[in-house]
Amino acid sequence: MKLNSIKPKAGATHYQRRVGRGIGSGHGAFSGHGAKGQGARQGGNVRPGFEGGQTPLIRRIPKLRGFKNINHLDYQIINVSDLNLFKDGDEVNALTLLGHNLVRHKSKPIKLLGDGTLERKLTIKLHKVSASAKEKVVKAGGKVIS
């Protein structure tokens, strides 16, 4: 290997544009700065977000108010009356509810609420159960396992 034979890897170097070297170069006359104006002047350019004196977008939109709790759990809600499509003695959990299209996501937590009546004897295994829902399940002869 000799020093005069060393070359950079293909694609490592870029062609450097030579501006202001005559009309025939394609970058003569105004040297890629367009005609007159602030952008054509030396050191003349506007900051990012500048809209020519118009109130910028960042100042037109309202400020963010309040905060978002990162620990908030968004429960999928299901009512006691929805469980009447199961048979007596069935176990109700996230997968069985997903199979009956009562919930959309198996990973999101599920809460059972006490709206309606229950005519089935079921075993409930869910993330959360309201007090009224638990009372109705036990009254129907079922049990709640948390």
Which of these, 41, 110, 114, lies nearest to 80 by C-alpha position? 114
Q: How far apart are CA 30 and CA 17, in angstroms?
A: 14
Residue 5 lies in a domain: no
Over range 46-54, report the average pLDDT.
92
Residue 107 lies in a domain: yes
Percent pLDDT > 90 in the chain is 82
CATH code, 99: 3.100.10.10
Q: How far apart are CA 77 and CA 127, in angstroms?
A: 11
Over range 22-27, report the average pLDDT.
92
pLDDT of residue 64: 84
- Over the stretch 94-127, which tens digit does the pLDDT of each residue have? 999 999 999 999 889 999 999 999 999 999 999 9
Q: How far apart are CA 33 and CA 40, in angstroms?
A: 5
Confidence of residue 1 (pLDDT cuts 50, 70, 90): confident
Residue 71 lies in a domain: no
Residue 86 lies in a domain: yes
pLDDT of residue 11: 92
* Residue 115, Ramachandran bin (φ over 0: left; ψ between -120 and 50: alpha; else beta): beta
- Domain of residue 91 covers 76-144
The number of folded domains in the chain is: 1
